[in-house]
Structure 1
């Protein structure tokens, strides 16, 4: 089962940085941006995370919480968050529960070898818990601005 636009996103609970547990049910009443990235501390993921960090206040004004998700362990996520000064939590999805729910595990090619990995993707969930927007196969430049604009429009009603 995976998420569908306009439909409620099934509740989930996941381990995150800052010794927290994130649950969608606890975030009801807020919009939620969940962005999936392939690997902590790699160039594209660092740029994308920095773009979200640099616009966090604008997202907060639009009643929107940001969560980053990858298959990295909590220690790698904690180090990534601290080193980059991210002001939002990163989720460790080692068992791929969220990756499968959002259907972001795809066959990828790296140096001619195929492997399963996370396709860079972002999802915007409305304050009622329904999937409002999705961006799949994301290219980092300008992406966060698109997500922010969508979050602001959704918040404005």
Structure 2
């Protein structure tokens, strides 16, 4: 499978989420934000999700749907969504197919140990399905505000 590239159409994909099956093809006509995060219920991932939750209405107003993606199970996602009142779907990428497509699996070091993990990353896809912007190695603070500004600008066209 090829990797996503700025200014190129994102390859069609279908994934299972907390709100049913997600198909990029069925989202044509809407902008899409896909944010990848390492793990449910961890401090940074919770803060990032809460920020997307708190700006959710502004994303909707900008014709933009938001999806969070991690390798956690659907059950874990459902609990995370319920606990945090997330109005958007979380995609369970247990087979890492979306992580591979968006090239977010990276070698990480923690406490001197190396392991492969999800690099916090966000992608903005336009209403025609073309990747317009990507943020890699995301720092949570003020990130969602920046994504929202880009989505609003893209929607204003």
What is the 5 A alignment of 1:1-157? 1-18=2-19, 20-157=20-157
Query: Deviation at 1:131?
Result: 0.1
Under a length normalisation based on structure 2, what TM-score does the superposition of the two structures give? 0.99
SS at match of 1:107: strand
Distance 1:78 1:107 in 2: 28
Runs of 4+ in structure 1 over 2 Å off: none
Query: Deviation at 1:45?
Result: 0.3
- Note the alpha carbon deviations across 1:11-49, whole angstroms, 9 max, x for none: 10000003x000000000000000000000000000000
Gapped regions of structure 1 (runs ≥ 5):
none
- Note the alpha carbon deviations across 1:36-90, whole angstroms, 9 max, x for none: 0000000000000000000000000000000000000100010001000000000
SS at match of 2:22: strand
Aligned length: 156
Query: Deviation at 1:111?
Result: 1.1
SS at match of 1:124: strand
- Note the alpha carbon deviations across 1:99-151, whole angstroms, 9 max, x for none: 00000000001111000000000000000000000000000000000000000
SS at match of 1:115: strand
